[in-house]
Structure 1
Amino acid sequence: MASSDSLKIVIVALLILSIKSDGLGFANVDGINSVGSEPPNCFDKCLGCIPCEPVLVAQKGSAGEYYPEEWKCKCGNKIFNP
């Protein structure tokens, strides 16, 4: 019975460590962790403009509202949908 309990503890510990190491739900952009999806692959998404890089863009809402962010691809001063 003690062996069974030990096995359960080891399995739970491994699950916790695997979730923590994957960064579940977080994306690292410029060294800053952000909650949400991972940045898109912006390869060939900026109509030939280089460098085409993923950026978080705030969506505009009415005054006093929370501004949700979404991933876009940016090259120079232009923003593209991934």
Structure 2
Amino acid sequence: MSLMITDECINCDVCEPECPNQAISQGPEIYQIDPERCTECVGHFNEPQCQQVCPVDCIPFDPDRKESQDALHQKYLKLIAA
């Protein structure tokens, strides 16, 4: 399951540098997460780092993008091979 950033985002800039997959970028109004690059930090950390640093708790799991741990790990392997 990918993560997503909700409208509660205050553009504080702390999540973007924490993402090991460079999945977070500034969108038109708030930060956004590229679901093709988001592995929930699988392969890097035990917990999603963006969720850990977000001061307003606006980074939930995206219910429309459910992925197993194996699928997230496979995505991670593709990203590090590129």
Establish whether TM, by shorter chain, passes 0.5. Answer: no
More strand by share: 1
Using the size of structure 2 for normalisation, the TM-score is 0.22
The TM-score normalised by the length of structure 1 is: 0.22
